[in-house]
Structure 1
Amino acid sequence: MYEGIGEGIWDQSQSHAGDTQWGDYLGSVDFEDGAVSFPLKSQTTHKFMLRSDYGFVWQSIASGSLKPVQQQSPSKTVTETETPNVGDTKDNELDFSVEGQENRTVNDIKDYYYYIYQRTYHLPDDSIAKPNNIIMTDVLPYGVTVNFDENMEKDEVKEEEEGIYNSNTEDVKLFGTDGKVISLDTVGQVWVEKVTINGQKRQKITYTLSDAQITALDFNGQDFSWQIKINHDEELAVSPAFEMINEANVEFNSGKDYTWDHDTYPVKTKITPNEFDINLHKIGLEDENDTSDGISLSGAKFTLTKADGTEVETTGMMENFHFLN
């Protein structure tokens, strides 16, 4: 026999933070605290009874697990689209690893977006329980940055580490399965950390959902998502290209035996040196004060040296050259 001794709070506008309280509505972060399970074996007929000493009790029967279940691996895209995609088709036009987009660059694009999509399981068919914690981490590639307030005070617990800032930046957002923003409601949900990896200065983003955000998520078998607004350093462009490869990680954490984390597949962007043409017209002047049009030097020879050491000899009076900058 199971006996309920807690207090289920069915009104979503009320707090249920008491030691013996739980949110008595589907989608609450602790809804499963007010449930019991009856294992079903081989027979097709099962008898059990539900009763209440108060004369009335709200009851429901579901086939889902009493514990959270493992999530699917998340996916990642890189795009200029300013809102996440709802549905199975995802914009990913800036990823040069996609077939047919091998020559795609992010040259001269000031702001664009990473999206991390996480597929939900079904409530209550797969489980009646949501994860206790959902955490997204993303170490941005060298040269890629997200805006945040560098003047924010470091967290006291982590102040000895290289540079962790509680920024709650507006450039990292959470979207529900309906494509609408789920706002931040707790200080310290978004950390932007300065880290050094293989001698390169990079940024690490950690986004931890609050209980209110997890409650607001509709676990309906569709994707919720994070959006990271990014930009890159054009000065890193080298020939033939400077590549920026990125993947993220999503963790569902409900304690021992019910914690899983999965990486996304990497997305790849690149910048290339800008190309331009110049004309060289060789003339001779008497001295630095000569203001005439000069004398044609069609027979003179000049040598241009490329950054890689390759030399190009010029002999004509006017010649065209193609440069990478």
Structure 2
Amino acid sequence: MTPTETGTEVTTAAGRPPASSVVKVVPVRRYGQWITTVVLLAGAALVVRSLVTNPRFQWDIAFGYFFNEQVLDGLVTTIWLTVVAMLAGITMGVVMAVGRRSDNPVVSGAAALYIGFFRGTPLLVQLIFWFNLAALYPVLSIGIPSGPTFAFGSANVLITPTVAAILGLGLNEGAYMSEIVRAGLQSVDPGQTQAAQALGLRRGQVFRRIVFPQAMRVIIPPTGNETIAMLKTTSLVSVIAIPEILFQVQAIYSRTYQVIPLLITVSLWYLILTTVLTIGQVYLERRFRRGDLRTPQRSFRAVFLGRREPGRMEQR
């Protein structure tokens, strides 16, 4: 074909540019990504080689204690302590978040004071404080100030190590959960509340049926993170002689002097439990995001690895 010249453009009779004028696309060479990948793979290989070849890890002993009765008893204590502390923390968090939004300055001020105190002091100090509460208040009583007393009891009897652990973990977690819940409530468009009130719903009904269900989409992810953090934070209660998994492992290696393999055992159990909680968090987030077309639905693998899957939108 003979090329025809039209202005400054050169085309063939078929309307296509000649082969010599086609722009060649050169792919971008990402040298930085290649170097990073090689370094990471080399580092991973070195770590795996060290784990496999170093006899001081004593993997046989670590797995030998994996289903030890004493370790499993501590594991059960860790799990139920996590559940109870998180339930107490979530309950206190919702109450304090609602209190912070109150128009009553006394209520909002009391909620702010609670949050400031329990977030501003270390959890370990709070646990030891609750454990030694009898030194400050030997007798705990319920009644009217300067009036009749309805019930009383010895603080040494009432504040057991388990009660001290639940009070310390639950009240501390409530301060953090209150800010999470408050952020979730603020994420709901105020127009939702105004529309519900225009329909004649009371404030309590608006909160339970309109605001809180929508706020859960924002509340669930950080609450899952707090639950995982609480699972590991329960190890602090070993200082007040609660027989959770770390306390039990410490009791074993204080007799056998097999410190490293037993620490590996407890670390593996923590990894298993946190993985289970992570999977549950992913499915719970999906449950509360049903019907939200703004949020793409991602597979568990993509969520776990932090990848995006554009084009896959959640179906109603």
TM-score by length of 1: 0.18
Between Structure 1 and Structure 2, the one with more strand by share is 1
TM-score by length of 2: 0.18
Between Structure 1 and Structure 2, the one with more helix by share is 2
